[in-house]
Amino acid sequence: MNFYHHVVGILSSIPRQTRWRIFMRVQLILISIFILLAQLQATDLRAQRVTLHVKGQNLQQVLKEVRKQTGYDFVYSPETLNANAQPVTIAANNTPVADLLKQLFAAQSRLQYTVDQNTVVVRVKKEPNPTGTIEMRRYQDAETKEWIIEGRVIDIETKEPIEGVTIRLKEDNLTTQSDRNGNFRIIYLRK
């Protein structure tokens, strides 16, 4: 007799209601174990704590020390850090990783970070979009009956042209970009 037939023989000798109770208890135990393991595996930025005391140290060295204490991976370009990072001075005692990262990068005016699970990605801050204005005119070509919108995008403060600005005509779903002189042109037919 194989194992399967042996188990079926034992289970058939147990009353149905008792089997149901055993089955429910086993499910409850398995769910409890799963929840416990999930909590043990969870790595929360608030749960990990760091003690760190540095003065005028290279950011790359500080990130290596944080990695040693927490196991978090840091993704960055050494060239980016060398070109943009300020020396780090920080005193942190048993500080959550999230708070430590906020302190570290508050002093880094040209760097920002994002956290994805156990990985911290460090990159150069995106420059804010320049504040610009559009000078434009709209007219209809007498011969072709096409409508033409043309104009120029310039920075409000410096009056310099802004290249690469996307201009979109919503009604007709037409788009174009300003050239290196800030100029753009859209031609369309009105229906």
pLDDT mean over 57-86? 90
Q: Pick from 93, 124, 155: which residue ends a domain?
A: 124
- 136: CB partners within 8 A, 6+ apart: 149, 150, 151, 152
> What is the total count of domains within the chain?
3
Looking at per-residue pLDDT, the higher value among 170 and 190 belongs to 170
- Assess whether pLDDT exceeds 60 at residue 28: yes
* Domain match, 95 and 120 both: yes
What's the DSSP call for residue 53?
A: E
Q: Residue 72 burial (CB < 10 Å; 0-12/13-18/19+)?
A: buried
- Assess whether pLDDT exceeds 70 at residue 42: no
Instruction: Write out the residue range of the structural domain in which residue 9 sits.
Output: 3-41
Residue 149 tokens read as 């919108």
Region of poorest pLDDT, from 27-31, 65-69, 167-171: 167-171
* Domain match, 118 and 182 both: no
* pLDDT given at position 53: 92
* Domain match, 88 and 154 both: no
For the entire predicted model, the pTM comes to 0.48
- Assess whether pLDDT exceeds 60 at residue 43: no
